[in-house]
């Protein structure tokens, strides 16, 4: 075992950290939050040019050919440095498409940043694939998709949607041009202006469809969850670091607040939580990367890490007090991402149900 | 042992509820929600006027100052009902500053300020915090120097929340630079329209506005220093104690929880009623029990005041417990509503008007604000259980 | 409202406190724990003579005629002073019988301490009355009871058992002489030597039977729970008090440990927990005493107070360290009672279920 | 990033499991259970002999001292498997005292003690605590004065757990009365059969025996002072760090949890399988996830040692987390088993051999013992995150 990044991974992370510390700051985040694209086009281009979006895509498709662990290292560091969410979403959705079809012709465009893909899974009725109603129909060569997808990240800012749909009795993914007739996006803002959309597909022409088994869908979702775990550990690392710095610097009652035992112990618990969460997360990421079957440890990581991130943020907010509460502070961006990542990719209840079933049934 | 409201208290509660039925409509609740319960929108001002017309402005004020002379328990009932209905709170001017002036002001000051407060002509922003003085108020640097019959005030305040709509600031300033830190402060009333006062907005996480306040050679009459020179630290603590009584109420938590419960009863997710999820049921039940525990702590605090005690430990208990409970309510709400609960409050389709994610963003402030929970726990230990400081 | 004992109740509690501080100490408790009766006969006689056991029984039956609130005040103080459990059980079971039949001829014996009653409810199959199998049969005048009762407190030390049984389609209670043929007791020790028993009834002759509706059974159980709440608040008060004393006295690192903020905050949280628990408990006790119907607040008290007591004990043990860990220390008796009271009379899960049903169904 | 055991580590784990299969039978598990994992019953002694025969006594000792030279991760695997099987632990003599002697003893001391420890001829009780010196070891009053070539020791020790079966005491004593508190202690080996040594039993809550140790003019050879005079505080801290590695293992928690899970799968209560209760399922699932988190903290600590680091913060994290987790396991076990779970361990019908209520009684000790969790959290803050002391 070696619960640490390799030298190469560390170099990658340092490069990311360098760029983001120059290009991302709270004022810009706040500005982007109020722009339609929720992100700076120049930064988007830079990130694509550096190969971040394509890192895990096959080399034949213009990608870096790296495995999921490397992509997770990238994502962890991007999350730490508060890369705008649409760009993190671009890395995510590219991974989803490559998982379904490593030779899809859209991949080079995604890698280069010329195209952006949105991943449309959940529906207004819920998150259980068995209940999804979006469906493919029509003869070969003239296939269309009908249905409604909810809370699709970057629905409006993307060029193509990767839509999970029923195809008769089985599952398929449809690539749909966001601008094709029949696609209507109702833009929605989530936490902190996070861009999402409800998307209606009315006989929307399908660019291409990818037949997928239920296992393929599950594989896509597991990898998405793995990347969410990496986002969470990255966020936690940043939040812990800024809190340690703050309590060492902030004075009250004539001393650094770090000197108060109650403050010190809260930092200690943040540290313990982060340390355990990081290893739980990375054990699962590396196992998924290695193609291991889903296990209780994976469900444990899902159940634990999201809650850990929220707890760490909550303590950080408490220790920062008013200073961390202004909209310009980095901390609140992490606090929003903690809850929204948790809700979307690491809800606790289903993970606990899975653990219980594995142990008791 | 008796935990039921007395007939008089129950009648008062019913009276309050009747007033709320007559004076709170969805428009007011919505305005209050959008202003985060801190604004002074036109409907809020109308509601405040109705309170004054009913003679309910100074509920717990002695009758000699134009108040209703109600007990602390009755005031607690009022605040709880108001919060629970989502109506605008009584301003801190009325519940915190005025009672302090009554206790520490001289006769002339009482005559000058209390009637105007009672008529609604005065609204204070509270000027305690500074960049380097949060919970640690003894570190205040804003200072005032006597020049003839006027104080000349210089300095900066933070989290001066109502500054942009207030008529005056209730300001803690250093007037005795040579005294020990705690003995060098005084409380001073500064009109917002005095030359040299500038307000700069600060926006915080839940989307609320607060302000930084700058004072540049601001001149105020000598008589605006309330009570004794050098006693400001204790006056501010007194005002904060009055304030904490309101913070400790679980009314807002009850309202948020009630909305959440209503939604859980109705919603179907993945083809299954949300209320049939065992984990949802357990979370809801736990919060209900916790809310009842929080209600008990608040009610006991009020009751202790009516017994003539200064319930510093009790009010700290209520503050700590309720602030941390609100965080649990918010988190449970976010988890239970899932993707439906993470929409921004301004999205028309946001469930419970986006209140759960809003509350998630608001909750930290309840714990670190109004004297951090660490200081509250210290108070409980020192004053509640006589633990030694050294 | 008046969340405090009346002057009379306070006097009663002071009298109890005085006696128990003289008659009960950890060494005696430890000795009694290893005796068959788990209690001192002299103390048992004293307690009966002082009218404690009969306090809530009708005056016509030699009791004090006090209401449930007064009995709960007594029980609270008895628990605070660690009155041996069989004697607390005697107060409990007398209340159960008087609730079922305020004129039962056994009551004077219970009040005077000449007789002791055990309350036999639960069965090996579980705690839900609908599943109980113990049943009455036989012709009038020659009724017998058959069945098995589990974890009956004081089963062996008592003279008579009050046995919940099925009588055809309805519920009844049978009074059975513990020494009558067909009654077999297998003694069991619980936490800290607490005396219980599995009791078999094989055609055991019934002394007397008391027809009881399901409501009567529920009333008995609610009153038992109310008395358990009083035991718990009494225990919590003692534990909090001894912990405050200990941290003020114990020195480490050159100062009283109370001076450490982490210690102070744990005491503060104990205090908050106790304060809320006490009021929750007493709100429910007084409502039950007043005959109010069961409500969400009552279920909240059940769910909250037991957990609070355990939490308070856990913190107290932590702050006492080794000093509170020796078998002779009062603290560990409270720690045992916390968990066993919680298990028997204030299990959290059913109370939470009840709250959820009231709010959601 | 890699979290899988290396082939060598996996092979070692399998070897350990094989050894356990061959050498742990229900009789041994039962004896260990009744002795609370601290006793030295005949079967435990036989098991220890088997370990020695296999050359597995000093697993992590360097080969030069007769050890196996295994890595810290491999030792952690061993401890985890042993605990998980309910077999007797390696004595602290081997895992804590001996490694300290190896690092700080002089050559003669190593030659004198290590081979005898390796042969099983020496078993230490650990003499750190005193009535007035628990976690605060610098307050130790037991003292030794040099008289010719002998130390004369006087004082009293508390929680001297193995004293009634040990051959020697590993004693912290004050030898430099004029030095600052931390610099005045030395570590000394005292034979239990030396005149003037008395042992008095102390029984603690979970039914375990520990002891008070009285030293009345006990004379020991000068060479029994291990390493340097005045360095005892640091040596004891070193020994405690070695000890904490073993405490931080989640093996015992895993075993208790496994037994609980087995029972939950089987039991039917009120006509309904216990495993179908949603709250039981949630509690079990939470504990499983927490155990995995605890396992990670322990494993990382061992790994850090193998990287040549002194993982003080990491081992404190594991200690705090696991000790508090065991309390949650115990409480969940008591609640889930209900009346069935509250029987005394000696009752033949007690479920899971009464282990849940026993664990409930044991758990507090894990949190306050071995350096209270407050001190562990201080260590995490100071050493893990560089927080200032002043």
**CATH classification at residue A224:** 1.20.140.10
Mean pLDDT score, C267-279: 98
**Helix (H), strand (E), coil (C) string for C93-115:** HHHHHHHHCCCCCCHHHHHHCCC
Same domain, yes or no, for A14 and A106?
yes
Are B111 and B101 a contacting pair, CB within 8 Å?
no
Chain C contact for B7, CB < 8 A? no
**pLDDT band for position A12 (50/70/90)?**
very high
Which of D342, D362, D370 is the best mutation test for C, with the most CBs of C within 10 A? D342
Chain B contact for D205, CB < 8 A? no
Say whether pLDDT at C332 is over 60: yes
Which of B135, B203, B280 lies at the smallest CB-CB distance from A252? Answer: B135
CA dihedral for C70, C76, C80, C81, sign (positive or negative): positive
Same domain, yes or no, for A180 and A231?
no
Which chain C residues have a beta carbon less than 8 Å from that of D372? Answer: 318, 321
B335–A347 C-beta distance less than 8 A? yes
Exposed, middle or buried, D186 (CB in 10 Å: 0-12/13-18/19+)? buried
In a domain, A2, yes or no: no
Say whether pLDDT at D38 is over 60: no
Which of B265, B289, B380 lies at the smallest CB-CB distance from C360? Answer: B265
State the DSSP string of C201-266.
EEEEEPSEEEEE-HHHHHHHHHHHHHHHHHHHHHHHHHHHHHHHHHHHH-EETTEEGGGSHHHHHH
The 8-class DSSP code of residue B87 comes to: P
The per-residue pLDDT for D35 is 65
Q: Where are the alpha helices (DSSP H) in chain C?
A: 7-23, 26-33, 41-49, 68-80, 85-100, 107-112, 214-249, 261-289, 296-320, 330-345, 348-360
**pLDDT band for position A20 (50/70/90)?**
very high
B 257-296 residues with CB below 8 A of D? 278-279, 281-282
Chain B contact for A211, CB < 8 A? no
The per-residue pLDDT for D37 is 47
C 65-104 residues with CB below 8 A of D? none
Which of A3, A259, A359 lies at the smallest CB-CB distance from D284? Answer: A359
Chain A contact for B276, CB < 8 A? no
Query: How many CB pairs (< 8 A) connect A and B?
Result: 113
The per-residue pLDDT for B37 is 47
Q: How far apart are CA D66 and CA C349, in angstroms?
A: 55
The per-residue pLDDT for D39 is 61
**Helix, coil or strand: residue D247:** helix
C260–A265 C-beta distance less than 8 A? no
The per-residue pLDDT for B36 is 59
Write out chain B's pLDDT in tens, 390 residues.
Answer: 899 999 999 999 999 999 999 999 888 888 877 765 456 788 988 999 999 999 999 888 999 888 899 999 999 999 999 988 888 888 899 999 999 999 999 999 999 999 999 999 999 999 999 988 888 888 999 999 999 999 999 999 999 999 999 999 999 999 999 999 889 999 999 999 999 999 999 999 998 899 999 999 999 999 999 999 999 999 998 898 888 776 657 888 999 999 999 999 999 999 999 999 999 999 999 999 999 999 999 999 999 989 988 888 999 999 999 999 999 999 999 999 999 989 988 888 888 888 899 999 999 999 998 889 999 999 999 999 999 998
Q: Which residues of C312-323 are buried (b: 16+ CB within 10 A; e: fewer)?
A: bbbbbbbbbbbe
User: With a threshold of 0.90, does the pTM exceed it?
Assistant: yes
Tokens of B265: 């009863």
Which chain C residues have a beta carbon less than 8 Å from that of D343? Answer: 188-190
Chain D contact for A283, CB < 8 A? yes
By residue count, chain B amounts to: 390
Distance from CA of C178 to the nearest CA of D (A): 22
**Helix, coil or strand: residue B107:** helix
Tokens of B38: 């801190």
Q: Tell me: the pLDDT tens digits for A152-177?
A: 999 999 999 999 999 988 889 999 99
Q: Tell me: the pLDDT tens digits for D49-94?
A: 999 999 999 888 999 888 899 999 999 999 999 988 888 888 899 9
A 326-355 residues with CB below 8 A of D? 351-355
Is D132 one of the annotated active-site residues of the chain?
Answer: no
Give the residue from A93, A115, A137 where a domain finishes.
Answer: A115
Q: How far apart are CA D152 and CA C216, in angstroms?
A: 73
Same domain, yes or no, for A68 and A160?
no
- Fold match flag (D124-229 vs D248-384): no
Exposed, middle or buried, A293 (CB in 10 Å: 0-12/13-18/19+)? exposed
The per-residue pLDDT for D248 is 59
Q: How far apart are CA A126 and CA B271, in angstroms?
A: 8
Q: Tell me: the pLDDT tens digits for D96-121?
A: 999 999 999 999 999 999 999 999 99
The per-residue pLDDT for A38 is 82
Residue of B243, B266, B282, B335 with catalytic role: B243
D 70-89 residues with CB below 8 A of A? 73
Q: Which residue from C minimizes the CA distance to A265?
A: C262
Torsion angles phi and psi, residue D274, rounded to 5: -55, -35
In a domain, A228, yes or no: yes
Residue of D243, D266, D277, D335 with catalytic role: D243
Q: How far apart are CA B65 and CA B53, in angstroms?
A: 15
Same domain, yes or no, for A203 and A287?
no
Q: Which residue from C minimizes the CA distance to D283?
A: C349
Are B297 and C275 a contacting pair, CB within 8 Å?
yes
State the DSSP string of B11-53.
HHHHHHHHHHHHH--HHHHHHHHHTTT----HHHHHHHHHHHH
Same domain, yes or no, for C61 and C89?
yes
Q: Which residues of A13-34 are buried (b: 16+ CB within 10 A; e: fewer)?
A: beebeebbeebbebeebbebbe
Distance from CA of A351 to the nearest CA of D (A): 9
Which of A131, A260, A339 lies at the smallest CB-CB distance from B334? Answer: A339
Looking at the DSSP assignment, which residues form a beta bridge with residue A195? A189
Give the residue from C115, C139, C172 where a domain finishes.
Answer: C115
The per-residue pLDDT for B33 is 75
Same domain, yes or no, for C298 and C323?
yes
In a domain, A259, yes or no: yes
Same domain, yes or no, for A196 and A221?
no
The per-residue pLDDT for B29 is 81
Which chain C residues have a beta carbon less than 8 Å from that of B292? Answer: 280, 296-297, 300-301, 304
Are D345 and D354 a contacting pair, CB within 8 Å?
yes
Structural domain containing residue A19:
7-115
Same domain, yes or no, for C252 and C220?
yes
By residue count, chain C amounts to: 361
Are D212 and D160 a contacting pair, CB within 8 Å?
yes
The per-residue pLDDT for A329 is 96
ipTM for this model: 0.96
Are C150 and C197 a contacting pair, CB within 8 Å?
no
Tokens of B113: 């300020």
Are B368 and B374 a contacting pair, CB within 8 Å?
no
**CATH classification code of D248-384:** 1.20.140.10
D338–C347 C-beta distance less than 8 A? yes
**CA–CA distances in Å: residue C188 to residues C125, C157, D35, D82:** 17, 12, 21, 32
In a domain, A123, yes or no: yes
Tokens of B324: 């941390």
Tokens of C140: 């009038």
Which of A258, A261, A264, A269 is the best mutation test for C, with the most CBs of C within 10 A? A261
Chain C contact for B187, CB < 8 A? no
| Secondary structure element (H or E) that encloses residue A332, with its range | helix A330-345
Q: How far apart are CA D125 and CA D192, in angstroms?
A: 9
- Which residues, 6 or more positions from A110, have their beta carbon under 8 angstroms from its beta carbon? A53, A54, A57, A90, A93, A94, A97, A116, A117
Which of A193, A252, A263 lies at the smallest CB-CB distance from B134? Answer: A252
Q: Where are the alpha helices (DSSP H) in chain D?
A: 7-23, 26-34, 42-53, 72-85, 92, 98-104, 107-118, 232-247, 251-266, 278-306, 312-337, 355-368, 373-379, 385
Q: Could you give the maximum distance between any two Cα atoms of chain D, in Å?
A: 77
Q: How far apart are CA A3 and CA A282, in angstroms?
A: 8
Chain B contact for C268, CB < 8 A? yes
Split into its structural domains, chain A has a count of 3
**CATH classification at residue A18:** 1.10.540.10
Q: How far apart are CA D364 and CA D360, in angstroms?
A: 8
Chain D contact for A3, CB < 8 A? yes
Q: Which residue from A minimizes the CA distance to B371?
A: A321
Q: How far apart are CA A192 and CA A183, in angstroms?
A: 26
D374–C263 C-beta distance less than 8 A? yes
Q: How far apart are CA B54 and CA C280, in angstroms?
A: 35
**pLDDT band for position D145 (50/70/90)?**
very high
Which of D276, D278, D281, D283 is the best mutation test for B, with the most CBs of B within 10 A? D278
Q: How far apart are CA D189 and CA D112, in angstroms?
A: 12
Are B108 and B223 a contacting pair, CB within 8 Å?
yes
Q: Where are the beta strands (DSSP E) in B222-343?
A: 225-226, 268-269, 272-273
Torsion angles phi and psi, residue D238, rounded to 5: -65, -45
Which residue reads 């069965």 in tokens?
C123
Query: How many CB pairs (< 8 A) connect C and D?
Result: 114
Are C300 and B288 a contacting pair, CB within 8 Å?
yes
Closest CA to A325 of A341, A338, A336, A311: A336
Exposed, middle or buried, D97 (CB in 10 Å: 0-12/13-18/19+)? buried
Which of D279, D283, D286 is the best mutation test for B, with the most CBs of B within 10 A? D279
Distance from CA of B78 to the nearest CA of A (A): 29
- Which residues, 6 or more positions from D3, have their beta carbon under 8 angstroms from its beta carbon? A1, A3, A279, A282, A283, A286, A287
Same domain, yes or no, for A346 and A242?
yes
Q: How far apart are CA B157 and CA B159, in angstroms?
A: 7
Q: Tell me: the pLDDT tens digits for D83-101?
A: 888 888 888 999 999 999 9
Mean pLDDT score, A261-289: 98
The per-residue pLDDT for D6 is 94
Exposed, middle or buried, C105 (CB in 10 Å: 0-12/13-18/19+)? exposed
Q: What are the extents of the domains in chain D?
A: 7-90, 124-229, 248-384
Same domain, yes or no, for A260 and A151?
no
Distance from CA of D273 to the nearest CA of C (A): 11
Same domain, yes or no, for C58 and C92?
yes
B297–C279 C-beta distance less than 8 A? yes
Closest CA to C337 of C57, C129, C80: C80
- As a whole number, the mean pLDDT across chain D is 92
**CATH classification at residue A155:** 2.40.110.10
Give the residue from C115, C147, C182 where a domain finishes.
Answer: C115
Same domain, yes or no, for C106 and C192?
no
Neighbors of chain D by Cβ distance (3+ pairs < 8 Å): A, B, C
Q: How far apart are CA A340 and CA A195, in angstroms?
A: 12
Are D260 and D352 a contacting pair, CB within 8 Å?
yes
Which chain B residues have a beta carbon less than 8 Å from that of C1? Answer: 2-6, 9, 73, 299, 303
**Helix, coil or strand: residue A334:** helix
Higher-pLDDT residue of C169 and D50 is D50
**CATH classification code of B124-229:** 2.40.110.10
In a domain, A266, yes or no: yes
Q: Tell me: the pLDDT tens digits for A74-98?
A: 999 999 999 999 999 999 999 999 9
């Amino acid at each position: 075992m070696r619960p640490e990044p390799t030298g190469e991974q560390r170099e990658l992370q340092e490069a990311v950290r360098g760029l983001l510390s120059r290009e991302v700051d709270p004022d810009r985040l706040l500005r982007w939050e109020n722009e339609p694209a929720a992100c700076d086009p120049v930064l988007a281009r830079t990130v694509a040019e550096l190969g971040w979006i394509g890192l895990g895509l096959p080399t034949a498709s213009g990608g870096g050919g790296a495995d999921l662990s490397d992509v997770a290292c990238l994502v962890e560091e991007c999350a730490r440095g508060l890369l705008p969410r649409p760009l993190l979403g671009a890395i995510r959705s590219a991974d989803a498409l490559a998982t379904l079809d490593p030779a899809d012709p859209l991949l080079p465009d995604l890698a280069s940043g010329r195209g952006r893909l949105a991943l449309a899974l959940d529906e207004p009725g819920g998150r259980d694939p068995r209940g999804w109603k979006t469906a493919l129909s029509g003869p070969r060569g003239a296939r269309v998709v009908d249905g409604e997808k909810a809370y699709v990240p970057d629905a409006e800012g993307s060029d193509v949607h990767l839509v999970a749909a029923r195809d008769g009795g089985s599952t398929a993914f449809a690539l749909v041009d966001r601008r094709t007739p029949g696609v209507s996006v109702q833009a929605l803002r989530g936490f902190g202006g996070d861009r999402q959309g409800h998307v209606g597909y009315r006989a929307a022409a399908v660019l291409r469809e990818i037949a997928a088994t239920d296992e393929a869908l599950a594989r896509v979702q597991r990898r998405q969850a793995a990347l969410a775990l990496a986002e969470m550990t990255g966020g936690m690392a940043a939040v812990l670091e800024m809190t340690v710095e703050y309590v060492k610097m902030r004075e009250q009652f004539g001393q650094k607040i770090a000197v108060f035992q109650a403050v010190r112990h809260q930092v200690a618990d943040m540290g313990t939580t982060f340390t355990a969460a990081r290893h739980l997360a990375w054990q699962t990421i590396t196992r998924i990367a290695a193609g291991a079957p889903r296990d209780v440890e994976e469900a444990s990581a899902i159940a634990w890490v999201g809650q850990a991130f929220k707890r760490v943020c909550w303590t950080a907010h408490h220790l920062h007090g008013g200073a961390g509460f202004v909209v310009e502070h980095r901390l609140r961006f992490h606090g929003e991402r903690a809850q929204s990542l948790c809700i979307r990719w690491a809800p606790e209840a289903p993970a606990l149900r899975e653990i219980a079933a594995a142990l008791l049934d | 042992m008796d935990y039921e409201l007395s007939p008089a208290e129950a009648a008062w509660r019913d009276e309050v509820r009747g007033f709320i039925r007559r004076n709170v409509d969805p428009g007011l609740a919505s305005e209050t929600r959008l202003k985060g319960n801190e604004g002074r929108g036109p409907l809020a001002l109308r509601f405040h006027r109705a309170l004054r017309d009913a003679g309910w402005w100074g509920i717990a004020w002695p009758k000699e100052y134009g108040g209703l002379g109600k007990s602390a328990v009755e005031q607690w009932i009022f605040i709880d009902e108001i919060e629970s209905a989502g109506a605008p709170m009584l301003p801190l001017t009325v519940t915190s500053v005025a009672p302090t002036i009554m206790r520490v002001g001289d006769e002339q000051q009482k005559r000058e300020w209390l009637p105007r407060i009672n008529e609604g002509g005065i609204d204070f922003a509270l000027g305690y915090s500074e960049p380097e003085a949060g919970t640690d108020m003894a570190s205040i640097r804003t200072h005032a120097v006597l020049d003839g019959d006027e104080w000349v005030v210089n300095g900066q305040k933070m989290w001066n929340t109502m500054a942009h709509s207030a008529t005056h600031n209730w300001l803690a300033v250093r007037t005795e630079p040579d005294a020990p830190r705690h003995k060098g402060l005084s409380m001073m009333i500064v009109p917002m329209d005095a030359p040299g006062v500038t307000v700069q907005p600060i926006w915080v996480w839940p989307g609320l506005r607060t302000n930084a306040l700058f004072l540049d050679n601001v001149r105020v009459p000598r008589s605006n220093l309330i009570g004794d020179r050098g006693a400001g630290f204790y006056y501010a603590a007194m005002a904060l104690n009055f304030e904490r009584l309101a913070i400790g109420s679980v009314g807002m938590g009850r309202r948020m929880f009630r909305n959440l419960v209503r939604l859980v009863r109705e919603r179907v997710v993945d083809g299954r009623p949300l209320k049939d999820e065992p984990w949802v049921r357990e979370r809801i039940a736990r919060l209900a029990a916790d809310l009842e525990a929080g209600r008990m702590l608040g009610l006991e605090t009020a009751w202790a005041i009516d017994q003539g005690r200064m319930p510093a430990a009790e009010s700290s208990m209520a503050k700590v417990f309720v602030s941390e409970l609100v965080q649990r309510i918010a988190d449970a709400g976010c988890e239970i509503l899932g993707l439906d609960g993470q929409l921004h409050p301004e999205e028309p389709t946001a469930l419970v008007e986006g209140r759960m994610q809003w509350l998630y963003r608001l909750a930290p402030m309840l714990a670190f604000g109004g004297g951090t929970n660490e200081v509250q726990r210290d108070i409980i230990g020192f004053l509640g259980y006589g633990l030694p400081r050294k």
